[in-house]
Amino acid sequence: MTQLEFNFYSAEVVQETPDLRKGMDGKLLNGCFYERSTGDFVSYVQGRRHHVFDTGILQNDWMERTKRDRWIE
């Protein structure tokens, strides 16, 4: 097993709580959305990205409706 070296001085500081995603109305995201930037169908729970769906098991009509009505950047 090789040992990896880690440079603590060049590491980025990770915030303890990630930024919560909000919708256009300013409320925290809840539910399933289509992310245009990644091309994924994801669920959000109180503003946090919760689950990425496998498009192989989703129904085409649901995916088209979600792309049209519930998309985020």
pLDDT for residue 34: 92
Write the pLDDT tens digit of every residue in 3-62.
Answer: 555 555 555 544 555 678 888 888 999 989 999 998 988 889 888 888 888 888 888 898
Q: Report which of 33, 3, 7 is spatially closest to residue 21, judged by C-alpha positions.
A: 33
46-51: long-range pairs with CB below 8 Å, 24+: 46/20, 47/20, 47/21, 47/22, 48/18, 48/20, 48/21, 49/21
Looking at the chain, the whole-number percentage of residues with pLDDT higher than 90 is: 14
pLDDT for residue 24: 83
pLDDT for residue 18: 61
pLDDT for residue 65: 92
